[in-house]
């Protein structure tokens, strides 16, 4: 029996370690570690691997772990992102899939009911089709985390120490879509990130990401997100031409978006000229909207699925820490994956 090679690689990449780093930490040659990642490691090395990677010993089980190919992840600014961060994202993706696999044994999770979109649709038309098929009209969207969860998308948080890893998404080996969100942004921008990743999952699932297509994929996902959160017809109806800044901010508050996103949408639908858009953006920057949402009271959105996990742990009289170690996960990862909702569950 041996530790499956996928678990050695995932643990190493989760820890941000090179093969040289991990080999040195466990007292073997780099060649030996490479063999472990190709063929498996002796089970007698589980304690050493756990100590070096900060993964629980229980993680180093003999069965394979679900893996994510980094070229299949929709990842912001891929070309400007280090290989270490990309590999951490794939490792977090694997760990998140593993946690949801454990949750599916204990909780009833929503079925996958995503719309099938015509591949010829523009991003704006795709957003309109989603609103139509989900019966959303042109009204402000409700809790977006809960909306996409209800259609089978699995939403997780990114651990605070790794929040240089931005929002990302992928279709897992289990044929389920996953979205990971960093909570270092405002709630408004977190909603935009989620809408952006939904666009990737719906429009680009058959597209292989590479340097030539990344920029276009990101542009399309941004257009989709803007149209989903701020329906163009609603923007045209609610605002006059050359609207004042206060009206743009009010639009953003009503639809749960950032004021910057609202200003871009006002320009995109023709309610602001190029010059007017520049003036809006300059004033938003002056008032601090470039990096925050002054005056906003919008909270971060809660997940019903992660609330169900918390309720399960309470009924089972199990702490988050104990459950995490039982399933071979780091407690801080489980707390982050649950969007902080399972941060501290008392028995």
Mean pLDDT within 162-187: 89
In a domain, residue 56? The reply is: yes
In angstroms, rounded to a whole number, what is the distance separating the alpha carbons of residues 274 and 272? Answer: 7
In angstroms, rounded to a whole number, what is the distance separating the alpha carbons of residues 136 and 148? Answer: 12
- With 0-12 / 13-18 / 19 or more C-beta atoms within 10 angstroms meaning exposed / middle / buried, residue 256 is buried
Is residue 160's pLDDT more than 90?
Answer: no
Structure pTM? Answer: 0.93
Choose one of 45, 65, 85: the last residue of a domain. Answer: 65
Choose one of 20, 39, 65: the last residue of a domain. Answer: 65
In angstroms, rounded to a whole number, what is the distance separating the alpha carbons of residues 165 and 228? Answer: 24
Model confidence over 16-58: pLDDT tens digits?
999 999 999 999 999 999 999 999 999 999 999 999 999 999 9
In a domain, residue 42? The reply is: yes
Q: What is the pLDDT of residue 347?
A: 55
Domains identified in the chain, total number:
2
State the average pLDDT for the chain.
92
Q: What is the pLDDT of residue 257?
A: 97
Residue 36 in tokens: 């472990």
Q: Can you say whether residue 165 is alpha, beta or left, with left for phi > 0 and alpha for psi between -120 and 50 degrees?
A: beta
In angstroms, rounded to a whole number, what is the distance separating the alpha carbons of residues 1 and 4? Answer: 9
Q: Sorting pLDDT into bands at 50, 70 and 90, what band is 84?
A: confident
Model confidence over 92-127: pLDDT tens digits?
999 999 999 999 999 999 999 999 898 889 999 999
Q: Sorting pLDDT into bands at 50, 70 and 90, what band is 220?
A: very high
Residue 151 in tokens: 């259609």
In a domain, residue 29? The reply is: yes
In a domain, residue 12? The reply is: yes
In angstroms, rounded to a whole number, what is the distance separating the alpha carbons of residues 169 and 166? Answer: 10
From residue 204, alpha-carbon distances to 107, 113, 117, 208, 330 in Å are: 30, 17, 11, 8, 32
Model confidence over 259-295: pLDDT tens digits?
999 999 999 999 999 999 999 999 999 999 988 999 9
Is residue 132's pLDDT more than 60?
Answer: yes
Q: What is the pLDDT of residue 260?
A: 96
Domain that holds residue 265: 232-287
Residue with tokens 């980094």: 70
Is residue 81's pLDDT more than 80?
Answer: no
339, HSE (Cβ side, Cα atoms, 13 Å): 23
Residue with tokens 């394979």: 64
Q: Domain of 47: which CATH number?
A: 1.10.260.40
Tabulate helix, strand, coil % of the chain (nearest 5).
55, 5, 40
Choose one of 65, 86, 101: the last residue of a domain. Answer: 65
**154: part of which helix (H) or strand (E)?**
strand 154-157
Q: What is the pLDDT of residue 163?
A: 65
């Amino acid at each position: 029996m041996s530790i499956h090679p996928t678990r050695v690689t995932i643990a190493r990449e989760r820890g941000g370690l090179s093969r040289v780093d991990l080999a040195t930490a466990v007292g073997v040659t780099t060649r030996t570690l490479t063999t472990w990642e190709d063929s498996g490691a002796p089970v007698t090395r589980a304690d050493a691997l756990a100590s070096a990677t900060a993964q629980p010993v229980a993680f180093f089980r003999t069965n394979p772990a679900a893996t994510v190919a980094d070229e299949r992840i929709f990842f912001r600014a891929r070309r400007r992102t280090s290989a270490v961060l990309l590999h951490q994202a794939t490792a977090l993706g694997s760990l998140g899939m593993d946690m949801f696999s454990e949750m599916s044994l204990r909780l009833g999770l929503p079925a996958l009911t995503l719309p099938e979109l015509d591949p010829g649709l523009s991003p704006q038309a795709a957003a309109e089709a989603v609103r139509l098929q989900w019966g959303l009209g042109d009204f402000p969207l409700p809790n977006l985390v809960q909306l996409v969860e209800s259609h089978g998308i699995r939403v997780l948080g990114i651990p605070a120490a790794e929040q240089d890893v931005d929002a990302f998404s992928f279709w897992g080996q289990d044929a389920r879509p996953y979205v990971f969100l960093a909570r270092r942004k405002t709630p408004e921008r977190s909603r935009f990130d989620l809408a952006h990743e939904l666009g990737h999952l719906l429009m680009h699932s058959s597209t292989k990401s590479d340097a030539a297509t990344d920029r276009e994929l990101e542009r399309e996902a941004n257009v989709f997100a803007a149209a989903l959160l701020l329906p163009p017809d609603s923007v045209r109806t609610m605002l006059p031409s050359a609207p004042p800044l206060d009206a743009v901010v009010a639009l953003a508050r009503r639809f749960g978006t950032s004021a910057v996103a609202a200003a871009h949408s006002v320009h995109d639908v023709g309610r602001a000229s190029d010059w007017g858009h520049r003036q809006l953006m300059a004033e938003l920057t002056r008032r601090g909207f470039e990096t925050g949402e002054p005056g906003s009271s919008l909270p971060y959105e809660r997940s019903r699925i992660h609330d169900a996990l918390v309720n399960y742990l309470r009924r089972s009289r199990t702490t988050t820490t104990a459950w995490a170690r039982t399933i071979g996960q780091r407690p801080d990862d489980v707390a982050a994956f649950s969007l902080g909702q399972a941060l501290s569950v008392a028995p």
